[in-house]
Amino acid sequence: MSIKLRPARKREAVQTVIVEHETVDDQIVDDQIADDQIADDQIGDEATVGETGPQDDEADHHEQPGSAWRRIRWSQVMAYGLLPALALLLASAAGSLKWQDTSARDAAAARIQSVPAATDGTIALLSYRADTVEKDLEAARGRLTGTFLNAYTSLTHEVVIPGAKQKQISAVATVPAAASISASADHATVLLFVNQTLIIGQDAPTNTASSVRVTLDKVGRHWLISGFDPV
């Protein structure tokens, strides 16, 4: 007695085919899910780029005016603040240098002019002859100014002129040396070394040496003696 099992094998083959078909279907489904996931990721990335892009542009848009404003403000500071101040400083420095140069030139001119004025004036003050004393000393008054002029006028009229006429006094003054002490545009001081020779009547001449500090003021175009102090 024999038993045939072929139908059973047929069912096993069908089952095997069904399993294989299900496996293939599962693989297709998995592949489809993977593709869908990749597509979703790409869409998400594009959405992210779309969202962040305008924000970055907007941030740049907000930053640019601030930078421009700062540049404008610095330009205004330079135009309205630093540059005028610098120009004023340069103008002030130029004016100061010009003033110093002018002042130095005026002082040099005063020094040159005041020394001979002091020398000639002193000689005129201290020199006279007995027979022309009034005329000589009156001419010397033209070289004086200020309070010293008044003091000299009183001294000569009250003492020198009457004494010279009465005692026949004559005087001759010389200035062997002179030096400027200080000088400006309208004021100067000069140091003089003075020798004076006096002749009284028929007596022998007498010599006197002294040093005098002479102060001068510029009146108009002339340097006049305003102070006369022995030192």
Residue 134 lies in a domain: yes
Q: Is residue 192 part of a domain?
A: yes
Could you tell me how far CA 139 lies from the centroid of its own chain?
51
Give the range of the structural domain holding residue 165, as residue numbers without chain letter: 107-230
For the stretch 159-208, pLDDT in tens is 999 999 999 999 999 999 999 999 999 999 999 999 999 999 999 999 99
199 found inside a domain: yes
CB atoms within 10 A of CB 212: 20
pTM for the predicted model, two decimal places: 0.58
Q: What is the CATH number of the domain that holds 117?
A: 3.10.450.230
pLDDT tens, 79-122? 555 666 666 666 666 666 555 657 788 889 999 999 999 999 99
Nearest to 178 by CA among 108, 89, 88, 118: 118
Residue (of 17, 201, 25, 220) closest to 113 by Cα position: 220
